[in-house]
């Protein structure tokens, strides 16, 4: 036997049902602070620094991923094969 129940709740109703805290006020405050920082930093220098950090971080991430793949390949090829 299979029983299925569908419940249609909003995120707020779900939090209340399970007794979870409501962080929406804190989330909104964080968003407001981020927006303020972004607006304050939209000068040419701020955008340049942001883009430079993103590009540098992206290149470093790619290099780290390549090193990870290379180490996995070399580790896999150096394992002795079992006799079958």
24 occurs within a structural domain: no
55 occurs within a structural domain: yes
**Averaged pLDDT for residues 12-19:** 88
Number of domains in the chain: 1
57 occurs within a structural domain: yes
* pLDDT at res. 30: 86
pLDDT tens for residues 40-53?
Answer: 666 556 667 666 76
48 occurs within a structural domain: yes
**pLDDT above 80: residue 39:** no
Please tell me the pTM assigned to this model.
0.36
pLDDT tens for residues 27-37?
Answer: 888 888 888 77
> In which domain, by residue range, is 64 found?
41-73
d(CA 63, CA 42): 30
25 occurs within a structural domain: no
């Amino acid at each position: 036997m299979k029983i299925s129940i569908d419940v249609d709740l909003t995120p707020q109703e779900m939090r209340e049902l399970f007794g979870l805290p409501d962080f929406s006020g804190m989330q909104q405050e964080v968003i407001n602070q981020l927006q303020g920082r972004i607006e304050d930093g939209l000068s040419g220098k701020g955008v340049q620094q942001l883009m430079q950090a993103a590009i540098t971080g992206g290149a470093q991430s790619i290099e780290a991923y390549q090193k990870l793949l290379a180490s996995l390949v070399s580790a896999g090829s150096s394992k002795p094969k079992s006799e079958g």
